[in-house]
Structure 1
């Protein structure tokens, strides 16, 4: 007979944030994250430095998560962890810790696909938040991924479109670097864009063979060449037009995203539409999605900010669903830097 109350400790270590959370069924009791500021000096995440920091952070982060949840490790029913995709060195730290603790406590080990977790974060129980019904569309947008998914069940995803080169988060961060903004630059573009004119400058939208796929590499190059031309005319062009440049770049990227999302909704006739991933914290993406709710009759689902970026609570909710279905991992399971959306 299934236990009524299930406590799951979840661990996230796919990139540069060490996360640990405790869930009681589908409710988050604690969600702790230790970031790594050291990467800012390099303009991006350095894999070796990230894995070392995870080794330093994982024990205190897990300890804090248990204390904030008000439970002991002996009350845990399972350990969920990010199996992949992500940086291999970072993933190995979380995988090794989860496996060791699972063996020590003699409780199930649950491998979780990081990208599934971003999507299923919508099912974390929160006051005032409604989870989308199956099937629904979800656009996952992050530093490493850009996809439009048809979500059929908690473990059944169909890719309708995806990036063929750079992810949308890369487009934001690399544009920010060209503009001389510190890492991570995506949130700064969003900040400056709010004070700028989104129609000040025009950038062409890259074409793809599959109209639901994305391509941001060409856009990034077009922005670079545009800025180089303008700076030859005026060395202070970026400084004098920073807000307008950010607003124009953001408008172009958001337009690309929303056009494909609208096309996917029209083709599938699905009107329940969600966003997920770190870039879903972008204010223009959120406002555009909400406006489509009014104009197109969609029901839209936007995650809480704390569940958009990499965090362990989203790993825990997938762990909860898999626990209910006795979908456990074996002791010989390994981390995988490349993992398809339906793999784990």
Structure 2
């Protein structure tokens, strides 16, 4: 009973800390003009209140471990989903009950948002540590390559990604919103959104699809068979899970379960991160002209590539 109360107090303290931090960020964001909410670094746009040139520059000093679990994805491709799966897989292999996990173990750690204090704290976390980025391969911390850290790259079909990203920006006070879907679509296709062009991102990462330390998985693949995805992720990292562990992790990783728990994991922004969790929502916003434009862009950039085949574009993106 005492250990349960201790765990509850620790969770409450962490939640209060996260909420306080978010409140400070919201106050800062409220003082910015829309054009000030993004800044450009090495050609790409980043959120002003979440990142900075200093944070991006210090990535070169990050000390990766070979046993780390690293997620990389373009925004709104399933990063938060896989983060939950990663944490639960890590807890299973560490054989730690919920209340016995490292402080910060369930936090969403995006390294491009991490300050020196976070980097220092992460040194004390037991392995496997979980963190991620929305960065191009060339912008990864050098130690990830040097240590041969395994990187899971998460992609989603571009039409659903664009719609999910649009709604995310409209609901997220830390990001600039658009006057309309049509306006956002133009920015998205031009790469004038945070982290740049989806297609540039895909083309860069596609070069490394056969790297032994890189594995690609898609949002749609996880929707098709979540338990199978959990097993595939665990095996990629060299972990052996029981059927019961896989079932439990998949059960906790459903959209409904994560949405129900969003206030605990994402505090006051919980409803921003978990909207629908479906495939095919693009049909509710795309015009025929926009659909044809996206089809042409996919054909130009990804048709005939291994990543293009993995995305099953004809199945998920053709009306």
Which band: TM-score by shorter chain?
under 0.3
| TM-score, normalised with respect to structure 1 | 0.25
* Greater helix content: 2
| TM-score, normalised with respect to structure 2 | 0.26
* Greater strand content: 1
Structure with max Cα Rg: 1
